[in-house]
Structure 1
């Protein structure tokens, strides 16, 4: 009876303290750096994500958001998370050629049909490789913007040969290589800097999604728009690894529960809606030339992109992976979610 009484007292003591201990996680504020303006649809999506984290952590995790490159240039956001300048960062891996060869598959033209289900597929596929390819940060999630295309100031691009001799601002390293293969010259500029380089004539065209053309004022300087689903650009949320590991187990679980393929699609959805609506808005503007491709022209573009896949395969082999397996895995995920081109 004495042993039973002691055991009962111990259980009562544990029950007394279990709730308060969990509730007494040390409050933390995490700095989230991204590079799009607050008017961009990703910003309120991040706000909703941060609010959900705050609620799930009983208020112990708050996230302060720094938009519009406040913590550093767009090109630097991955390293900012690695180095602790930001606790969480929105990064575009395509800004750093060759650094993330597996992720580079998502940048190949004619892979994605949409970016809603496509984002969930992209994230689910990449999770298998994230800890190896992005080992110096804590990977959270990946999504993509809606399929994008060429927008030019004066010269109309209809077939791949039209790019020859033109100066184009590319979206990422893969599209930059595509432009080079077609005989064009690349002008490097982040999204917020793109209007300026077009306005000054430093670039004659840009690869960009439709809604962002309006959001960044690029429609004020471009006239011609190739109406084709050419490519997407991946967007990744990563965390500073020591900062993540300093959280309590309960707090880490809250973060983990918000770093999922489901959340990738949630964050992608308002951005996708904004981008897709931009096409009709541009078509309705006086003086804007939005033109479709014929089947024969589309076939030319797809054939011209074939060397990109071969180059990607070579890079992945050098990194020690089987490109055929990786390619099939992404295709299977996209087909499963009805998001394959």
Structure 2
């Protein structure tokens, strides 16, 4: 009798322990997350983020709920890092390249000819950047980093070699591409993705660095017709969380967030977008009135040569913030090799 009572007590203890050790305990207070994405609802990243948030809610036992705000409802695309820092949003979608010089370390992922694939590139970038994010993005809780499928140049006139950019007004994808434009004698015209079509339509810009599927999503296919068929560049992105919101959660809730801020989740969230951009390239090739053309070997070599100074400029920038560029670049290359993601 005593043995059965002891066994029953042990079973009850183990059951209670399991409940307490779970992702989030039933007594945890409800937390509401405002997630801000400056992209339109039709963008693949929006439903992917909803699925990520739904999994967080499930894993937290319903205690971490979310509301998603797309289309710059809470603030402009350029402001999203500060929005997460200041609590205007609890989670925000950040393009570090929208603020030149502010996040020099992660900018290495924006140098042309770095990644060969969005899926593998995301895993390589996120796994590498985590240790640097602790310092570079220290006033937010870094969640994860990712890249889109490699993009290219889309223009109102045919561009084949770097010299063709001289004198053109170009909307760069991010700050590193802006540096390249300047090196090649182009004029940078700044504008967020939602503003890009209008800029090209009005002649404010004549060419744009953009991923393929988004050319259709933002209506850019209506105002340009020439497209270079090469994976020239990627843009890096991050999801950042307000530190006060994260720190105010219970330990169990913070673990749920940590479990959803991993390289694996980075690829899960970015994956549908990566596939969408890759499909855009195929779609463009079959579209009447558009010319999609590869570069000859010597033309591609000229682009790679033109991009070489960007690595030196990046090295100088990160050295100024106390990071050893040789070590950081070697670590990134190791991550690229590990994930088979190098260009």
Q: Distance in 1 between matches of 2:17 and 2:182?
A: 64
Q: Deviations over 1:83-102 (max 9, x none)?
A: 00000000000000000110
CA drift of 1:281 comes to 1.0
> How much has 1:207 moved relative to structure 2?
0.3
Q: Cα gap change, 1:245/1:152 in structure 2, threshold over 3 Å: closer, same or farther?
A: same
- Name the residue aligned to 2:336: 334
Cα drift, residue 280 of structure 1:
1.6
State the alpha-carbon separation in 1 of the partners of residues 282 and 12 from structure 2: 65
Helix, strand or coil at the partner of 1:23: coil
Which secondary structure does the structure 1 equivalent of 2:118 belong to? coil
Where do residues 261-272 of structure 1 align in structure 2 (5 Å cutoff)?
261-272=263-274
The offset of 1:28, in angstroms, is 1.1
1:197 and 2:199 correspond: yes
Q: How does 1:152-231 map to 2 (within 5 A)?
A: 152-153=155-156, 155-231=157-233
Partner of residue 291, structure 2: 289
Equivalent position of 2:34 in the other structure? 31
- In 2: Cα distance, 1:170 partner to 1:94 partner: 10
Provide Cα deviations, 1:241-277, integer angstroms capped at 9, x if missing partner: 0010000100000000000000011112111110011
Which of 316, 322, 325 is 2:324 aligned to?
322
**1:197 & 1:275 partners in 2: Cα distance?**
21
* Deviation readout 1:61-99 (Å, 9 max, x if unpaired): 011100111110000000000000000000000000000
Q: Which runs of 4+ in 1 moved over 3 A?
A: 8-21
1:140 pairs, out of 122, 140, 143, with 143
| Paired positions, count | 334
1:74 paired residue among 45, 60, 77: 77
* TM-score relative to the length of structure 2: 0.94
Task: Point out where structure 2 has 5 or more consecutive residues left out of the alignment.
Answer: none
CA RMSD of aligned residues (A): 1.9
Deviates more, 1:18-27 or 1:165-174: 18-27
Asked if the contact 2:39/2:46 (under 8 Å) is kept, the reply is: yes
User: Secondary structure of the residue that 1:305 maps to in structure 2?
Assistant: helix
CA distance in 2, matches of 1:321, 1:305: 22
Distance 1:161 1:140, change over 3 A: same
CA distance in 1, matches of 2:338, 2:294: 28
Taking the aligned partners of 1:19 and 1:324, their CA distance within structure 2 comes to 47
Identify the residue that residue 241 of structure 1 maps to in structure 2.
243
- Distance (Å, rounded) in 1 between the aligned partners of 2:74 and 2:242: 14
State the distance in 1 between where 2:17 and 2:123 align.
40
Residue equivalent to 2:120:
117
Residues 9-68 of structure 1, C-alpha deviations (whole Å, 9 max, x = no match): 999789769848921100111000011111111111101100100100000001110011
- Which residue, out of 76, 93, 97, partners 1:90? 93
Alignment of 1:292-307 (within 5 A): 292-307=294-309
Q: Offset at 1:321?
A: 1.2
> Quick one: distance in 1 between partners of 2:16 and 2:130?
39
1:322 shift after superposition: 1.1
SS of the counterpart of 1:250? helix
SS of structure 2 residue aligned to 1:116: helix
- SS in structure 2 at match of 1:143: strand
